[in-house]
Amino acid sequence: MPARTDTDRRHEVVLRRDVRIPTPEPGVTLSANLFRPDGPGPFPLLVTVLPYRRDIAALNGSPTERWFAERGYASLLVDLLGTGSSDGVPRPPFDPGEADDALDAIRWGAGQSWCSGAVGMWGGSYGAITTLRTAARRPEALKAIIALEGPTDPGREFVHPGGARGAFSPLASWSVSTLFNQLLPPVDDFADPNEQARWHRRLTFAPYVLDLFRNGPGSPVWPRRRIDVPAVEVPALCVAGWRDLFVDGAVRAYEELRGTKALLAGPWMHVMPQECPVTPIDFLEIAKSWWDRWLLGVDADNDAPDVRIHVQGDRPRWLAFDSWPPAGTVRTEDLAGWQRSAPPAPDPATGLQSGLWATPAGQFGLPLDQHGDDSRSLGYTSPPLPRPWLIGGRPSVTLTRPWPRVSVKLTDVDPAGRSVLICAGLACGTEDELTVPLTPTAYEVAAGHRLRVVVAPGDFPRVWPQEPPEGWPVARTLTLPVADAACGRACALPEPAEPALAGLEQQLDGEQAASWEITEDLLRDTVSLRLAGRHRIRPEDVPGGRHTLAVDQELTATAHRLDPAASTVTGHITGTVDTATGAHVTVDVTVTATANTLDAHGKVVQDGVFLLDRHWRG
């Protein structure tokens, strides 16, 4: 094993911006920011590869990369081909070829004199995709990975959930932010001629949203963009959030891995575990222990269990298990014996009371009381439980005479009638019988509480509202994995040094204000979601800051009960950049979609001169 390094030592950090990484194509290089501990090294290297621009991350200070560099790990944050400051033409989103860029970065980094030759790769969300996809290619220098809160099948888990055309998250939230990133000028070295040339070339590229919209459910491109998780051989730490839209993929990655692996799952939304206001943990210390073990040969945390999960519901707590799903029994509940309820007709607009678990919004958006949505759906409610049930795994519900598209949710109903979302599933099919798998969870239902299975024709704004056929399906059985709580061992996880609520408070007040609104128009019989926020970054806010960036964003989704086809989602971002050279640039982007139409509009103005005013339609 490598000689032990004192990883508790604090290093000064040397930042090299816009490091150029060669690719096999002559004249085409990738851009990266390199955060290196001061000193000759050699140091292990951590690599993250994203389409979200290393210069924008630098505006926010790149705190995670700096944290690892202070503790002896060089960190390389890389722009994918054709994005940010990298040369070339961007690939389609989630394209398997993106692993080529990571392989180039790993090869380059491992060959540097300051690198020990040991490389780890990690990332959250899209970064988890590139991490798993690269590890499946088995580069020699890659020794371990960490994949946080990312999908393994982007087509079915994000773009078209359960095989139904996706709405708000892919076509409004993600698409408008990626288009904004594409059109935004360089915010590192604005005056550099090469950066200017790359920016003006980016203005000519088609946005990601066209690919998502034109390749609908069932398109052959989506199976090709799945990740071959079983091909990963290096040790892998999988991190999942029970309230994250990618919980199924993150847990499934752990289940499909064949080598050394660990699972860490908490009640988090789509946010880093140390930043979530609900049960935050000191994730960076946990990650450092993982890197110490596999990149340095220092196994100070050798007693850490392979599976650590946070149990939600009654008596929230962390438990360690020897396996996932935990040992226990599988109950099959006959729903004919449960209390059935249904309104006169199904509501195509249910879903907003599930919160923002499928619509990432940062540090807020936990599910609301589901009672209103429950009352507009087909429901089956159990008798009060005689004892607590610890659900651990993936429940499923089997229906007969299903609609072509079925949303199923499992809730915990307390004695006061409040209905709390446990987990959810969505599936499409044309057979007489359909089994809908729900997302994995760890949730304890208290004695005296009741379980409820909620069946609806959709889940807005996750998918588009549509008029279901007449009649109701029949929910036959609930298959429920019940874990043996006695097999779990209490385990304590460190809390972050800074309270996560501080970040949430910044979103609620002052220049970083955010809002989350649900409104109903009683005359038009519509229901709407609105998310809005603004963000300001000044040069004095971050080390080495050079420019001022101001961003205002608004996302809306409106479901029409009387005319579901008229439902819309819209994303709008306006950003202004005031550079150190005196330039003033405004970028304005809007994406508006229905289930059958798409209009994306981008406008870029520099010092009163229009550089771009273009529509893309699908």
Per-residue model confidence as pLDDT tens digits over 244-262? 999 999 999 999 999 999 9
φ, ψ of residue 449 in degrees (nearest 5): -85, 165
Spell out the domain ranges in the chain: 328-487, 507-617
Contact yes or no for 324/263 (Cβ under 8 A): yes
**Both tokens assigned to 213:** 């919209």
Angle at 263 between CA 261 and CA 264, to 5 degrees: 145
Per-residue pLDDT at 547 exceeds 90: no
Q: What is the secondary structure of 43-64 as a DSSP string?
A: EEEEEEEESS-HHHHHHTT-HH
Contact yes or no for 573/533 (Cβ under 8 A): no
State the DSSP code for 531. E
- The widest CA-to-CA distance across the chain, in whole angstroms, is 73
Contact yes or no for 45/120 (Cβ under 8 A): yes
- The CB-side HSE value for 530 (13 A sphere, CA atoms) comes to 11
CA-to-CA distance for 453 and 370, rounded, in angstroms?
A: 12
CA-to-CA distance for 556 and 137, rounded, in angstroms?
A: 40
Q: What CATH number does domain 328-487 carry, 3.90.920.10, 1.20.1440.230, 1.10.260.40, 2.60.120.260?
A: 2.60.120.260
If you average pLDDT over residues 150-176, what whole number do you get?
97
pLDDT band at 506 (very low <50, low <70, confident <90, very high): low
Question: How confident is the model at residue 507, as a pLDDT?
Answer: 47
**Both tokens assigned to 304:** 């850490």
CA-to-CA distance for 236 and 121, rounded, in angstroms?
A: 10
φ, ψ of residue 507 in degrees (nearest 5): -70, -20
Least confident of 106-115, 456-465, 544-553: 544-553
Put simply, whether the predicted model's pTM sits higher than 0.85 gets the answer: yes
Question: How confident is the model at residue 500, as a pLDDT?
Answer: 53
Mean pLDDT (the chain) is 93
Percent of the chain with pLDDT over 70: 95
CA-to-CA distance for 198 and 204, rounded, in angstroms?
A: 10
Nearest to 420 by CA among 478, 514, 357, 338: 357
Question: How confident is the model at residue 502, as a pLDDT?
Answer: 53
pLDDT band at 470 (very low <50, low <70, confident <90, very high): confident
The more confidently predicted of residues 99 and 537 is 99
Least confident of 60-64, 314-318, 474-478, 490-494: 60-64
- Give whole-number Cα distances, 140 to 105, 120, 136, 307, 481, in Å: 13, 11, 11, 27, 39
Per-residue model confidence as pLDDT tens digits over 185-231? 999 889 999 999 999 999 999 999 999 999 999 999 999 999 999 99
Angle at 286 between CA 285 and CA 292, to 5 degrees: 85
Contact yes or no for 469/403 (Cβ under 8 A): yes
CA-to-CA distance for 410 and 414, rounded, in angstroms?
A: 13
Cα-Cα end-to-end distance for the chain: 55
